[in-house]
Chains A and B, each alone.
Chain A
Amino acid sequence: MSHDAVLSARHLTRHYQIKGGTFSKPATVKALNEASFELYPGQTLAVVGESGCGKSTLARVLTMIEPPTSGELTIGGHHVSLKEGQRPPAELRREVQIIFQNPYGSLNPRKTVATMLEEPLRLNRREMSAAERRDKALEMIAKVGLRPEHADRYPHMFSGGQRQRIAIARALMLNPRILVLDEPVSALDLSIQAQVLNLLADLQDEFGLAYVFISHDLSVVRRIADDVIVMYFGQPVETGPAEAVFTTPRHPYTQALFSATPVADPNRQRERVKLKGEPPSPLSPPPGCPFAPRCHLATEECVKIDPPLETVAEGVKVACIHVDEAMARYAGVGAR
């Protein structure tokens, strides 16, 4: 399978060292632990989880902003081996682009749209003339649904949705194959969110882009994802095809996350899989399964071992030793 994957990750791990201060000991924060997946052209892989679960760390590792502490990353058949502080080769950097959550913060307020769009070309495509760059920028502006007269305006003259379109246009200037979208629509209003999601779907069809879609909004994820990774405390706890994960969530955390998400249907009566407490502090991780302190199924065994991901159904992997019980309970609640 991996021969046609545009990106593959094997046991990607990223740890951060925290320096000790006068009163505190040095510590290691395990921001990302053992993430493995494959990404195919034209497909969307969604990464869901709450804040602090390592979603954005994953984005930074995939875009080679930071090297992984351990694990293998292969992009377009090239093995990426980076050391701390080393820059990845330019041809790989061109393949992966990122779009950030906040379109107000990710655009330079002192540059016009055209300047921003031409900048990647100026740096990476030296052979292009100024006129060619301008044409390419205008073409991309039209592709993302803006008008030609927008080219010479500054970011403050645009609304949030339009700015996100500019960020998308900028990311696509070098014809990447992979787009990492870090909460691309969560700062936008509902009516604008639909416009941007449709634009992303159109662009994916046109260019065959592979998306890594990081989000906490499950209704959005369910709509656009082909595959899903559910993360908790830096670790994938459930992975699989989106349809399978959404119809039958198997990990107790996935179940709790799904049932906590408000659904816009006032007639639906349901019982929640309730979660007590909050995610643990990364500086003092709990022993065993990181979800155990909040899990309603936790037993003594859960505190002893940190369960690895195991295949439990067609393409679905779950990291839980009580997965059968979790599914039986969930079916009993009849949440979906």
Chain B
Amino acid sequence: MALLDIEGLSVRFQTSSGLFAAVEDVDIRVDRGEVWSIVGESGSGKSVSMLATMGLLPWTAQVTADKMAFDGQDLQHLSARERRRIVGGEMSMIFQEPMTSLNPCFTVGTQIDEMIKQHKGGNRKERRERALDLLAQVGIPDPARRIKAYPHQLSGGMSQRVMIAMAISCDPRLLIADEPTTALDVTIQAQILELLLTLQEETGMALILITHDMGVVAETAKNVIVQYAGRQVEKQEVKSLFANPRHPYTEALLSALPERAMGQDRLPTIPGVVPGQHDRPTGCLFNPRCQYVTEHCRQVEPVAAPGDPARTLCHYPLGNPGDAATPDDVSPRDASPGDAPPVSRDPHATQPEVRP
């Protein structure tokens, strides 16, 4: 049984101009001790899908899913009290802006203590000992002094360490990190990512890393989900994703990386922008920006081909399905075969070489 098992997750928001689907039909299956990454541009729904999992979205969000289970417990039909016991304790999350995620009115010690008190209990002395241990564990020098510090007295990197200390204070089995290093400098980013991976190895927790940085994906995660405009377009092992992207969007994204386009006069670009609420195209959501687009793409919404381990959301996936490597437990949820395109076209005919 997977630790986190989500199938067909959709999140819709009621807006003044109609229902907006921020996330559609997302599947995530994470096992104990696995490191996953969700990558996508802004508006791809990567944060919203995880916030929905945590139950942190406002009541205006309409969250539906075929299945949404954490360690066998159905997250959709929990009472608020039961949910609070899991969220923060067994499943916790850290956010992008460490400075704004901490409460400016309380010392970091108080804030860590609150977590431990809620989920683990224990007397004041034990909790303080635990908080000091945690601060030391996340690499904060002189914990006895820092435990009395207010968030404004800490740098960005230190605040993020405090956030991590809070998140791991109750020995979670799943840690979701939402762009944990985006607001930090590269040398501090390297420290924080290393800390997260070390903690993951030591405790055996599962880690989901939400990011927009392909470099961070390559250096940290084992498996990756690519999202585009609220859809999950592809799911692969990191190594095989970089070597054999299956979705044209992934391929275009990888070739737009400056380091992959060395020696070329201009960077390969993806024309246009991510569709917003009002300009969602018909058919495949990526079709206006795709270099392999056909009339079929403009009219028919693609579904993942049955038997495709990467579950590529494309009528004409690139490469061979055999090239894609995914963890064994990813069960291909079979799509109706009737939607398969009649034409078979070899997209490799025009595909530029993107391997470094």
Contacts and interface: CB of A to CB of B under 8 A. Distances in A.
B269 A194 contact: yes
Contacts of B269: 191, 194-195, 198
B267 A264 contact: no
A220 B158 CA distance: 27
Interface in A226-284: 256-257, 259-268, 272, 274-275, 278
A190 B214 CA distance: 9
Contacts of A159: 273
A222 B42 CA distance: 25
A15 B271 CA distance: 44
A267 B186 CA distance: 20
B215 A262 contact: yes
A202 B267 CA distance: 11
B218 A265 contact: yes
Contacts of B356: 265
B97 interface: no
Interface string B156-177: 0110000000000000000000
Interface in A157-211: 159, 161-162, 189-195, 197-198, 201-202
Contacts of B158: 278
Given A216-B185, A257-B186, A266-B242, A198 B218 contact: no
Interface in B253-302: 253-254, 256-262, 265-271, 273-274, 289
A51 interface: yes
B219 interface: yes
A264 B256 contact: no
Contacts of A197: 258, 267
A50 B187 CA distance: 8
Main secondary structure on A side of the interface with B: helix
A219 interface: yes
A275 B157 CA distance: 13
A223 interface: yes
Interface residues of A, number: 38
A324 to B, nearest CB: 23
The listed residue with most B CB atoms (<10 A of its CB), out of A50, A201, A219, A264, is A264
Interface in A120-145: none
The listed residue with most A CB atoms (<10 A of its CB), out of B186, B215, B260, B356, is B186
B256 A257 contact: no
A275 B256 contact: no
B261 to A, nearest CB: 7
A51 B182 CA distance: 13
B190 interface: yes
B190 A266 contact: no
A261 B266 CA distance: 22
Contact of A50 (B185, B238, B260): B185
Nearest to B213: A262
Contacts of B144: none
Contact of B217 (A50, A192, A264, A272): A264
B73 interface: no
Nearest to A189: B41
Contacts of B259: 219, 222-223, 263-264
Interface residues of B, number: 45
A190 B253 contact: yes
The listed residue with most A CB atoms (<10 A of its CB), out of B41, B193, B257, B268, is B257
Contacts of B242: 264-267
Contact of B256 (A191, A256, A261): A191
Given A189-B41, A223-B267, A266-B239, A272 B190 contact: yes
B216 interface: yes
Contacts of A192: 273
Contacts of A256: 187
Contacts of A201: 265-266
Contacts of A257: 186-187
A256 to B, nearest CB: 6
B38 interface: no
B137 interface: no
Contacts of A278: 155, 157-158, 188
Contact of B189 (A190, A193, A260): A260
A264 B215 contact: yes
B191 interface: yes
Contacts of A260: 186-187, 189-190
Contacts of A266: 217-219, 238-239, 242
Contact of A191 (B190, B193, B216, B253): B253
23 contacts: A189-B274, A191-B270, A191-B289, A194-B258, A194-B268, A194-B269, A194-B270, A197-B267, A198-B266, A202-B266, A216-B186, A219-B258, A219-B259, A223-B261, A262-B193, A262-B216, A262-B218, A262-B219, A263-B219, A264-B254, A264-B260, A266-B219, A275-B190
Given A189-B41, A197-B258, 8 more contacts: A50-B186, A190-B212, A194-B258, A194-B267, A219-B258, A275-B187, A275-B190, A278-B155
Interface of A: 50-51, 159, 161-162, 189-195, 197-198, 201-202, 216, 218-220, 222-223, 256-257, 259-268, 272, 274-275, 278
Interface of B: 41-42, 155, 157-158, 185-191, 193, 212-219, 238-239, 242, 252-254, 256-262, 265-271, 273-274, 289, 356
The 4 closest A-B pairs by CB, nearest first: A262-B215, A260-B190, A50-B185, A191-B270
